[in-house]
Structure 1
Amino acid sequence: MTDDNVKPVRIKGLAWDIAADIYFPPGFDETQKYPVIISAHPTGSCKEQTSGTVYGTALARQGFVVVAFDASFQGASGGEPRFTEDPGFRVGDFSYVIDHLVTQPYVDENRIGVLGICGGGGYAVNATMTERRIKALGTVAAANVGRLMREGFVDYDPVAALEAIGAQRTAEARGADGVVNDLLPASPEAAEEAGLTEIDLCEATDYYKTGRGGAPNGATSFRFSRQAALANWDAFDRAEVLLTQPLCIVIGDRPGGFGSYRAGFEIYGRAASEEKELVVVEGASHYDLYDRPGPVEEALSHLVPFYGKHL
């Protein structure tokens, strides 16, 4: 364990390891049982960004063990080809992390929760429906990446995008180089030069492409030929039937193109959970909830007692 109570681990996945950082609470005693929160990073992000260093650190200080992990094919986790964003694998990762946790002597297997941020929030919603070992679900600025792949990510023409994806996959099968697209401009200056004004796109660039939130493994990239599965996937499908665990949803009240404001109200309305809370942080955007002290503190002021009650 490191001096700051963060331990890197390798977790056995399907055919590769999942990289994770475990954040331990002050005074951690491995002979005791602790509630655990699995923290899932945004699309294109990594465990060293908001899911780990911000929320992982804060929740650990409140007495929880927190596991921030890198999605398969991304960050320091295994899987080829790199930068694959596949909903089946991203949802399945949660179960492999839980498989690891239930073998650890300090984990109370009946008190395992999940926190998902941005795209990780949508995946966390979907995973919680079928992974009944998850007892409580929190989301921060959750996004439904499947919907984005039918709407804004493809200029609202998913069929044309799927045709292009198929052609690219054929080309790669015949030996062509893969295409990995960065989802963002290279810098805030590049965004300004391009005339971009959409709030989520501009603020994502400010977060990921500067010292504010940039990290070596936070590549903000998609492998183009592997995006087709997202177009036929919806994070909230069957939530009316299968999502029954306690739920705390945090969004900002400044809507943006990545849809977390819309998604927050949708999943709150659709979830079958008897105990659910929708927190709308006044004056906050999607990316304010990643690391800005005021919005993050407001989110935690609801998430900490929520997990305390249900884990």
Structure 2
Amino acid sequence: MDTVKIRNKDMYWDIAADVYFPPGFDAQKKYPAVISMHPIGSCKEQTAGNVYGAALAKAGFIAVAFDASFQGASGGEPRFLEDPTQRVEDVRRVTDFLVTLPYVDAARIGVLGICGGGGYAINATMTERRLKAVVSITGVNFGRLSREGFSGYDPLGALDAMAEQRTAEVRGGPLRVDNYLPPSVEAGKKAGLKDIDVLEATEYYRSPRGEKPHGATSGLFSHRAAAVGWDAFHLAEVLLTRPLLVVIGDKPGGFGAYRDGQEIYGRAASKQKELVVVEGTSHYDLYDKPAPVAQALEKVVPFFKRHL
């Protein structure tokens, strides 16, 4: 694995990325490549790289897991910004990087995303035609989540609060950085939290199982308005024509991957599409639990081998 810094001519900061290579890598050959996108409030070392990126490389692909702009080890200010438009633009820039590598077959590039990364991967594939296939692992439409659970089901009220906070900040006030999760599972339960996704996210991100230095699970509140007005699946009936694989667990949670997976499978214009529901599995089981991940990869690897 190599860690690289990606910068394009139109960028003012670097994108940090880990490049995973197949066994017996030969720089004189051409390989298919897969971009692996991390969840919301996460980083490339959490599931995108160490689980799915590594597995795809082992299967013969060049895999690139990168940190979103303004997050992780990537550059960009202000920090902790979760802007869906920027997240999709990051995919284009990583694609730019891949097509310059002599050992990557530019005609065989795909994208995979986990959680919010799954929604971004789907949205990017609609308009970035250099991407030939897309996989969503327990993918979430962050726009829908921002209008619902993340705004307390009051999107207009949330937008008003974001506007007031942004004005306060540009006038010199302190930044408001919200942490999406409680400090521990126990603290969450004491606060009355019962949702499986919130509690299992806390167990993943707040324990040695998934905790990483750049896995912030935080968001800059004043800059979240763009997400409220965005939708990962907009125009999927027209523009999402690439082969699509959607993997979800059958235990629904508050982040909505189960419903989002069902929705995009039905709406996608793709003639080659598949929905895989892993039984007895939750959103966070598909991050790193060996059995559910193995079931996902049993579909993911052949899918990319067929379409890349």
Q: Give me the TM-score of the superposition, normalised by structure 2.
A: 0.99
State the partner residue of 2:25: 28
Tell me the CA shift for residue 195 of structure 1.
2.3
- What does the per-residue CA deviation read over 1:268-298, in whole Å, with 9 as the maximum and x for residues that have no partner? 0000000000000000000000000010000
**Residue 86 of structure 2 aligns to which amino acid in structure 1?**
F
Q: How does 1:123-134 map to 2 (within 5 A)?
A: 123-134=120-131
State the partner residue of 2:159: 162
**Residue 84 of structure 1 aligns to which amino acid in structure 2?**
L
Tell me the CA shift for residue 187 of structure 1.
1.3
Distance 1:87 1:11 in 2: 19
Q: Secondary structure at the match of 1:300?
A: helix
Distance 2:245 2:277 in 1: 11
Distance 2:261 2:290 in 1: 21
Distance 1:272 1:254 in 2: 26
Question: Is 1:304 aligned with 2:301?
Answer: yes
Question: Is 1:43 aligned with 2:37?
Answer: no
Question: Is 1:268 aligned with 2:255?
Answer: no
Residue in structure 1 matching 2:143, options 126, 146, 156: 146
Q: How many residues align?
A: 306
State the partner residue of 1:180: 177
Residue in structure 1 matching 2:3, options 8, 22, 28: 8
Q: Secondary structure at the match of 1:219?
A: coil
State the partner residue of 2:190: 193
Distance 1:169 1:155 in 2: 19
Distance 2:298 2:257 in 1: 20
**Residue 27 of structure 1 aligns to which amino acid in structure 2?**
G
Question: Is 1:101 aligned with 2:98?
Answer: yes
Tell me the CA shift for residue 192 of structure 1.
2.2
Tell me the CA shift for residue 108 of structure 1.
0.2
Distance 1:44 1:173 in 2: 24
Q: Secondary structure at the match of 2:139?
A: coil
Distance 1:184 1:306 in 2: 34
For structure 2, which runs of at least 5 residues remain unmatched after alignment? none
**Residue 266 of structure 1 aligns to which amino acid in structure 2?**
E
State the partner residue of 1:221: 218
RMSD between aligned alpha carbons?
0.6
- Give the fraction of aligned pairs with identical amino acids, expressed as a percent: 65
**Residue 210 of structure 1 aligns to which amino acid in structure 2?**
S
Distance 1:37 1:227 in 2: 28
**Residue 176 of structure 1 aligns to which amino acid in structure 2?**
G
Q: Secondary structure at the match of 1:135?
A: strand
Distance 2:229 2:188 in 1: 30
Q: Secondary structure at the match of 1:258?
A: coil
Q: Give me the TM-score of the superposition, normalised by structure 1.
A: 0.98
Question: Is 1:83 aligned with 2:80?
Answer: yes
Distance 1:102 1:231 in 2: 33
Distance 2:212 2:188 in 1: 19
**Residue 41 of structure 1 aligns to which amino acid in structure 2?**
H
Q: Secondary structure at the match of 1:52?
A: helix
Question: Is 1:242 aligned with 2:248?
Answer: no
For structure 1, which runs of at least 5 residues remain unmatched after alignment? 1-5
State the partner residue of 1:279: 276
